[in-house]
Copies of this chain bind each other. A is one copy, B any other.
Amino acid sequence: MVVMICGHFQLSPLSILSSSSSSSSSSSSSSRLQLSSSRCSMMDTHKQGRSKFLEFPYVSAPHKNLMLDLVSKVEDRFQSQLLPCTLPPDVQYYKSSNGTSQVSLHITPANTHSPIDFVMGSWVHAELPTGGSLDITSLSAYLNSSNDAPNFVFELIRSSPTMLILVLDLPPRKDLVLWPDYLKTFYEDTKLDTHRQALEKIPEVQPYVTSSLFIRTVASPTAIFVRIQTEDDGGERIDGIIRDHIDRISKQVLGIWLDDCACAERDVGEEDKAYLRKRDGVIRNKTIEVDLGSSFPRLFGPEAAKQILEAIKEYFTV
């Protein structure tokens, strides 16, 4: 099972679809003329990749609307800090040679004034041998070592009209045993667990235990890992649950992340920064290995998977 295709991503508000200049302020004026040609090309690639990403072409309306809203919420907050996606075009969007699998990947790093390291968004569509399809959409955001607050991870995995897995978490960046204040600040005081509790009251919602012990290990104690399985109604009930529950809960959790984590004023000393870089590095490397590294070759073949993963690794390096 593909889990935590660590979705992250994005540049500036959705309105950028009709504007190519919103992030030009991040270039140095002395090199602007020289770079203008490659910059235009890069911006074109960015715009095309971004446009493809925002299509979310295979998921239902409530699912797509939620993704667009989450993307927009992150962009609105960090608009001026996010830089264009510089992934190669065939990594930003890739379709397998037999046409059965597609992936759109959008990674936007942030400028040096930002607490954000990068944001990554993705969708995957794969036709299944059984006749159905697997659709994964994700959005996640990694902070840099100027801020020790948790990251943000959101993923929806729909393996049939009547089966959905939701992963929603603010994974900690410190060992919560050794830093009980961190547990209190980011997980207890924010009442994060109330959102997990609200979701688990829905009759069709069951806890989901990923087979990866590593992914269980990096999850926070308030992580939402749930499986929603409904009667065979063509997907109507699951779309209702997305619209009436997951939509609100995801936005509330993202709101906590934006207000109390990403934008928190944290005093991070040099020793803490070194610790964060080390721990972040292990998590990112293992995430690629455990999650993407096991699923992408199956979906896209070993060669394309390797190319995509190598491109992602550049951003995952701390």
A178:B178 contact, CB within 8 angstroms: no
Interface residues contributed by chain A, number (CB under 8 Å):
23
Complexed CA–CA distance, A177 and B283 (Å): 7
Quickly give the copy total for this chain.
2
Given B214, B221, B286, which contacts A216 in the complex, CB threshold below 8 Å? Answer: B221
Given B176, B213, B278, which contacts A188 in the complex, CB threshold below 8 Å? Answer: B213
A232 CB within 8 Å of chain B? no
B214:A180 contact, CB within 8 angstroms: yes
A282:B177 contact, CB within 8 angstroms: yes
Which residues of chain B come closer than 8 Å to A176, judged between CB atoms? 217
Complexed CA–CA distance, A207 and B216 (Å): 15
Instruction: Give the contacts of A272-304 with B (CB-CB under 8 A).
Output: 278-279, 282-283, 286
Which residues of chain B come closer than 8 Å to A79, judged between CB atoms? none
A175 CB within 8 Å of chain B? yes
Instruction: Give the contacts of A225-248 with B (CB-CB under 8 A).
Output: none
A286:B213 contact, CB within 8 angstroms: no
Which residues of chain B come closer than 8 Å to A177, judged between CB atoms? 175, 217-218, 279, 282-283
Complexed CA–CA distance, A133 and B188 (Å): 31
B178:A279 contact, CB within 8 angstroms: yes
Given B178, B180, B209, B286, which contacts A180 in the complex, CB threshold below 8 Å? Answer: B286
A187 CB within 8 Å of chain B? yes
B214:A278 contact, CB within 8 angstroms: no
A183:B217 contact, CB within 8 angstroms: yes
A72 CB within 8 Å of chain B? no
Instruction: Give the contacts of A179-193 with B (CB-CB under 8 A).
Output: 180, 183, 187-188, 193
Complexed CA–CA distance, A176 and B213 (Å): 10
Which residues of chain B come closer than 8 Å to A178, judged between CB atoms? 175, 278-279, 282
Give residues in A with beta carbon < 8 Å to B.
Answer: 175-178, 180, 183, 187-188, 193, 207, 209, 213-214, 216-218, 221-222, 278-279, 282-283, 286
